[in-house]
A and B are shown apart, each in its own frame.
Chain A
Amino acid sequence: MKNVRNNYIIAAVTLIILAVSVVFIVRWISSRTIKMDIVKHFTFSNENSLKEWQEKVFKGKVDYAIDEANGDSFVIAKSDKTASALYYKIRLKIDKKPILSWKWNVKKFPHKKGEEDLKDPKQDDFGARVYVIFPSFFFTRTRALEYIWTEKVKEGTISPSPYSKNLQLFVVESGKRENGQMISEERDICKDYIEAFGEAPKNDIGAIAFMTDADSTKSTAEAIYDEIKIGYRKEKNGEE
């Protein structure tokens, strides 16, 4: 009888420890994600979801369409030697600490011969990229952050685009994910801007865009995008 009571006590203590651990783990995970006041949220839930994006064509049209798998809808982008981007004009104050988050995955990388070089214009194709654009009065001074998913270049690499120092490529993911699941990203735009350009942004955000292209390598690429959210960092009790 005494043994049975002891077992109950041990089970109850174990349950309490487990519950406390779960609470701590949840709080730890939530403390790692930035709280955000969402200004615009793209769920890509139906075919009309792409209508609010403008397609900007450079070399032929990339096939952007809404697809669905496991009850979840997303944008699928297929490029066959083409380059066109989906572009959305949105004004965000830079001093209010804007945050951008999205989900993505690259299904097929554009084929690059030899070592992948971010400064080579002949290799300026990426499975997926997301732009944050800072327009200027003189268009030659317009700056942009490009979050890219490369095949081989290491995550965390920052490099100017082969075409202009005002466009900084930011490698946030590298290599193929075998499980095919989407990867979530959350970027503090000001922090990334300072890291890429070495100074705080002077202009507000004027637009965001995303693109899958394979025109420079004359190959094919495929990626999926979902849950693009842009907003401001939520202030917590006067703290950042």
Chain B
Amino acid sequence: MRNIFRIESKLQHKYLRLIEASLFLPTVIVAGCLYYLVFFLVADEIAIPEFVAVILYPALERINIVLIVGIPLLFAFLWGLGIVMSHRMAGPIDRLTNELDDIVKTGNYKKRIMVRKEDELKSFVENIDKLLAKVSEREN
């Protein structure tokens, strides 16, 4: 039986790391570059240090507060999204492996492999089910 969001297999951790890297890294790089560039360009345009201090420093403080609160929330959201996505990818593979292993051991070709509607590899599993059905028919 599959856990709702987590499976025991190391495969999910592998996918999770891949998804997190592809979500976190671009977010951090793009946001960091934008943060620096926007302020750098505006500061360069304002030019006079006193004007920069009066205009940009308060704006910078406010944006930093928003980022301090927002970044953990964004990262929590991305982490949750990563778990759901990795579960949908690794879950059916894990189940398929276990179920096929069980079928081979018991010789029970009438058994069907169930996957969730939103799982990846759903059509692949359905084809294996069809294959099992044909094997079961031939045996009879």
A, B bound: yes
Cβ distance B33 to chain A, nearest Cβ, rounded Å: 14
Which of A54, A163, A209 lies in contact with B57, CB distance below 8 A? Answer: A163
A56 CB–B CB distance under 8 Å: yes
Known: A133-B48, A163-B53, A164-B50. 17 other contacts (CB 8 A): A56-B46, A56-B48, A85-B51, A131-B48, A131-B49, A139-B39, A139-B43, A139-B52, A140-B60, A142-B52, A144-B49, A144-B50, A161-B49, A161-B50, A164-B57, A209-B47, A209-B48
> Does A211 touch B at the CB level, under 8 Å?
yes
Answer whether residue B124 sits at the interface, using C-beta atoms and an 8 A cutoff.
no
Query: Does A207 reach chain B (CB closer than 8 Å)?
Result: yes
The count of chain A contact residues (Cβ–Cβ below 8 Å) is: 23
Shortest Cβ distance from A209 into B: residue: B48
* Cβ-defined partner of A163 (8 Å) among B40, B43, B50, B60: B50
Q: List 8 A-B contacts (CB under 8 A).
A: A56-B46, A56-B48, A58-B50, A58-B51, A131-B48, A139-B56, A163-B50, A211-B48
Indicate if A158 sits at the interface (CB-CB under 8 A). Answer: no
| Residue of B whose beta carbon sits closest to that of A121 | B54
Mark A residues whose CB is within 8 Å of B.
54, 56, 58, 83, 85, 87, 124, 131, 133, 139-140, 142-144, 146, 161, 163-164, 166-167, 207, 209, 211
Among candidates A133, A161, A207, residue contacting B53 with C-beta atoms closer than 8 Å: A161
Binding site secondary structure of chain B = helix
The 9 closest A-B pairs by CB, nearest first: A139-B43, A163-B53, A144-B49, A164-B53, A58-B51, A85-B48, A56-B48, A56-B47, A167-B49
Q: Which of A54, A83, A124, A166 is B49 in contact with, Cβ under 8 Å?
A: A166
Supposing A139-B39, A139-B43, A140-B60 touch, asked if A164 and B51 sit within 8 A by C-beta, the answer is no
Instruction: Note all chain B residues with C-beta closer than 8 A to A164.
Output: 49-50, 53, 57
Most buried by B among A139, A140, A144, A166: A139
From A87, A140, A163, A166, B47 is in contact (CB under 8 Å) with A87
Closest residue to B52 on the A side, CB-wise?
Answer: A139
Chain B residues, CB < 8 A from A211: 48
User: B48, A87: Cβ atoms under 8 Å?
Assistant: yes
- Minimum distance in angstroms from A125 CB to a CB of chain B: 11
Contact with A along B6-49 (1 / 0, CB 8 A): 00000000000000000000000000000000011001101111
Docked complex Cα distance between A163 and B52 (Å) = 9
Q: How far apart sit A87 and B43, CA to CA, in the bound complex (Å)?
A: 14
Q: A180 CB to closest chain B CB, in angstroms? A: 28
Most chain A beta carbons < 10 A, residue from B44, B53, B60 = B53
